[in-house]
């Protein structure tokens, strides 16, 4: 997961776009982008990254393809 943090960071900062076939993942990305946009601090970014990571760990079986695609962002 660690190598994905830079990709997640780009997503959260809206420097990259990603559209998943999993609605829950799209909603999470959108919510984290709004959350970070409202409070652009290193702590907030860290919180967003942790939330993204725990979501992907929890739903790993559902988002396997997305994880592979995110590696190529």
Tokens, residue 5: 């943090």
Give the pLDDT score at 15. 96
Indicate the SS3 state at residue 33: helix
Helix 23-38 and helix 60-71, axial crossing angle in degrees, nearest 10: 60
Residues with Cβ within 8 Å of 28's Cβ and at least 6 positions away in sequence, in order, are 51, 52, 55
pLDDT reported for residue 71:
87
Positions in the chain short of pLDDT 70 = 1
Amino acid 1: pLDDT: 64
Q: Enter the pTM of the model.
A: 0.91
Smallest Cα–Cα separation from 32: which of 58, 2, 59, 54? 54
What pLDDT score was predicted for residue 69?
Answer: 92
Q: CA 58, CA 40: separation in Å to the nearest integer?
A: 26
**Residue 72: what pLDDT?**
86
């Amino acid at each position: 997961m660690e190598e994905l943090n830079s990709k997640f960071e780009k997503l959260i900062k809206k420097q990259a776009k990603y559209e998943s076939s999993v609605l829950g993942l799209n909603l999470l990305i959108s919510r984290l982008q709004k959350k970070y946009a409202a409070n652009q601090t290193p702590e907030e970014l860290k919180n967003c990254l942790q939330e993204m990571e725990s979501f992907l760990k929890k739903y790993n079986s559902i988002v396997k393809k997305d994880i592979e695609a995110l590696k190529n962002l």
